[in-house]
Amino acid sequence: MSEQDRGIRRRTVLKGIGLAGLAAAIGPALPPLVRPLLGEEITARVPRRVLGRTGATVPILNFGACRLDAKFDPKIPEALGLGIDYFDTAYVYSNGSHEELLGANLKALSERLPEAQRSKIWITTKANDVSENPAELRRQLETSLQRLQTDYVDLFFLHGLERVEQLSEAAWQEAQALRKEGKFRFFGFSSCFAASPALLERAAQVGWVDAAMVGYNFKMLPPEDDEGKPIELKGEEKAAFERRALTWGDEMQRALDTAHKAGIGLIAMKTQRSVISFGERAAKWEDDKYSKHQAVLKAVWEDERIATICSSMRTLDALRENAAAACDRRRLGAAQWEALERHARACHGQVCDRCDHICGAHLPPDMKVGQVLRCLMYHDAYGDPELARAEFATLPRRAWDAWGVDFTAASRCCPNGVDIGRWMRRAGQVLAC
The residues that touch ligand SF4, with contacts defined as CB under 6 A, are: 352-356, 358-359, 369-370, 414, 416, 418, 420
- Work out the angle between the directed axes of helices 292-301 and 334-346 (0-180°, nearest 10): 120
Of the pair 164, 262, the CB lying nearest ligand SF4 is at 164
Please name the residues in contact with 55: beta carbons below 8 A apart, sequence gap of 6 or more. Answer: none
CA distance 53 to 276: 35
The least CB distance from residue 103 to ligand SF4, in Å, is 35
Sign of CA pseudo-dihedral 216, 217, 221, 224: positive
Q: Specify whether the CB–CB gap between 290 and 337 falls below 8 A.
A: no
Rounded least distance, CB 351 to ligand SF4, Å: 7
> Residue 224 forms beta bridges with which residues?
230
In whole angstroms, the minimum distance from the beta carbon of 414 to ligand SF4 comes to 3
Residue 200 or 359 with smaller CB distance to ligand SF4: 359
Between 75 and 354, CB nearer to ligand SF4: 354
Closest C-alpha among 252, 152, 169, 272 to residue 212? 252
275-298 burial, b for 16+ CB within 10 Å, e for fewer?
A: bbbbeebeeebebebbbbbbbbbb
Q: What is the DSSP string of 1-66?
A: --HHHHHHHHHHHHHHT--HHHHHHH-SSPPBPSS-STTPBP-SPPPEEE-GGG--EEESEEEE-S
Residue 63: CB minimum distance to ligand SF4, A: 28
Strand partners, 188: 157, 211
Complex with ligand SF4: residue 134 or 349, whichever CB lies closer? 349
Strand partners, 58: 49
Closest CB 401 distance from ligand SF4, rounded Å:
16
Output 167 or 355, the one with its CB closest to ligand SF4. 355
Bridge partners, residue 275, by sequence: 351
Cβ 195 to ligand SF4, closest distance in Å? Answer: 12
CB of 415 to ligand SF4, least distance (A): 6
| Residue among 268 and 369 whose Cβ is closer to ligand SF4 | 369
| Nearer Cβ to ligand SF4 (169/419) | 419
Distance, in Å, from the CA atom of 84 to the CA atom of 122, rounded to the nearest integer, reads: 9
